[in-house]
Amino acid sequence: MPYRWKKKVDVDETIVVIRNVLENQADLPNWLVNTIYGAIRDSDPVMTKYFYTEVKRYVPATMKYFEEGSVRTPI
């Protein structure tokens, strides 16, 4: 999974990783949340918007990790 999303397929792969992790455990691990935050921070705003759209569509329960004010927000 890239640290910077350059294409929609990069975001799609991130969504697949999130879904796969959640099939095996209840929460997203810190390393994954931090990696995704890095991608959110470093990617084009269009890709970030696409990420949020896809999270809401495919794994809406994980929005709690990525919303502003989340307790999982990396420092």
Query: With b meaning 16 or more CB within 10 Å and e meaning fewer, what string describes 44-58?
Result: eeebbebbeebbeee
> What pLDDT digit, counting tens, does each position of 51-74 carry?
999 999 999 999 999 887 666 655
Mean pLDDT, the chain, integer: 90
Judged against a pLDDT cut of 90, whether residue 75 lies above it is answered with no
Sorted by where each begins, the domain ranges of the chain are 8-66
pLDDT > 70? residue 1: no
pLDDT of residue 67: 80
Please return the burial class of 32, using the count of CB atoms within 10 Å of its CB with bins 0-12, 13-18 and 19+. Answer: middle
33: helix, strand or coil: helix
Q: How confident is the model at residue 29 (pLDDT cuts 50, 70, 90)?
A: very high
- Whether 24 shows a pLDDT value over 70: the answer reads yes
